[in-house]
Structure 1
Amino acid sequence: MKKIVLTRVDDRLLHGQVVVSWIPYLKANEVIVVDDELARDEFMSLLIKNAEPENVSVNIFTVEEAANYLKGEDTGSKILILIKNIEYIEKLLEFNIALNQINIGNLGSNSKRKKYYNSVYLSDEELNMLQSIAKKTEVEIRMLPKDKEIKLDKVNK
């Protein structure tokens, strides 16, 4: 199996904070964006791939494609997974992908979500999913690598 250094939930996916802070901090040389809809949208996929930092490859996969890819032989890459939908984490775990650390970075507000921490808004369903995921792997909230990590059980409920 390939080496995953972090799985980050951020509805902005590949953007400045990830490129400037997370990728160098993790020494990641590969980014995998996991999103069923985005993987089928050639134009939006092209926009994301154009944000590819130097010496870092970016791939955009459906959940199933990502699972198959990640089960492949370890080629020495350090992979950062970017996801904007918590359901995709559950699906990757169902495919037996070992996600050793989940980072919640940014989930914007909407009518079903309430604020839990800075720019992390969750619906009741999303919070329940994360609590279930936290029983299997570490879940933290942290915007930038230099920030103090907040464990999921420490957020205001």
Structure 2
Amino acid sequence: MSIVFSRIDDRLIHGQVMTTWVNLHNVEQIIVLNDRVAQDQTQKSILNMAAPPGIAVKVFPVEKFGQILKKTTITRRTMLLFTNSEDVLLAVKAGVPITELNVGGMRYHEGREKLTKSVAVTESELDAFKELLARNLEVTIQMVPNDERVLLEEVLK
């Protein structure tokens, strides 16, 4: 399995993701797992255009990707990209092998509770994070590699 990095960033593919995380992990392809984005041809086209040359971008519904992995081996160095913790939990339950999760941005807006300056969650997203931690995933909050890694479990104490 060649999943080298898993990240939540509600902006998906943007400058920081491309210039830092992709280079740090020598990523060859980005797989976005989100049911809504998977149905939106315009969004998929934008994601493909936002990726640097040579980086393949694929978008799948979360549970479908779990089914695909049962039949297909990923051979490229792959980054999984999510918009929220609920999708990560769904992916883990579907058999996607994630042991570490980086959380970049989950922006604040009405109805969300701020955990840090860059991460705000709904109640159900918070519950999903707690279940991921209970499943022994290491969840760190870090916008870019030069930032200090903050353990989510410490933030939740």
1:142 is aligned to 142
CA deviations 1:112-157 (Å, max 9, x no partner) are 2121112111123212210110122111100001211100122166
Distance 1:148 1:70, change over 3 A: farther
> 2:150 is aligned with what amino acid?
I
TM-score, normalized by length of structure 1?
A: 0.92
- Tell me the percent identity: 30
TM-score (ref. length: structure 2) = 0.92
Instruction: State the shift of 1:53 in Å.
Output: 1.0
Pairwise CA RMSD: 1.4
Unaligned runs of 5+ in 1: none
Instruction: Check whether the contact 2:104–2:142 (CA below 8 A) recurs between aligned residues.
Output: yes
CA distance in 2, matches of 1:52, 1:81: 14
Larger helix percent: 2
- Please list, as runs of the form range in 1=range in 2, the aligned pairs for 1:122-133 lying within 5 A after superposition: 122-133=121-132
Partners of 2:68 and 2:28 in 1: CA distance: 16
Structure with a larger share of its residues in strand: 1
Query: Which residue is 1:108 aligned to?
Result: 107
Q: Is the 8 A contact 1:52 1:58 kept in 2?
A: yes
Q: Which runs of 5+ in 2 are unaligned?
A: none
1:154 partner letter: E
Instruction: Map residues 64-103 of structure 1 onto 2, 5 A cutoff.
Output: 64-71=63-70, 72-75=72-75, 77-103=76-102
User: Aligned letter for 2:42?
Assistant: F
Q: Bigger CA drift: 127-136 or 8-17?
A: 127-136
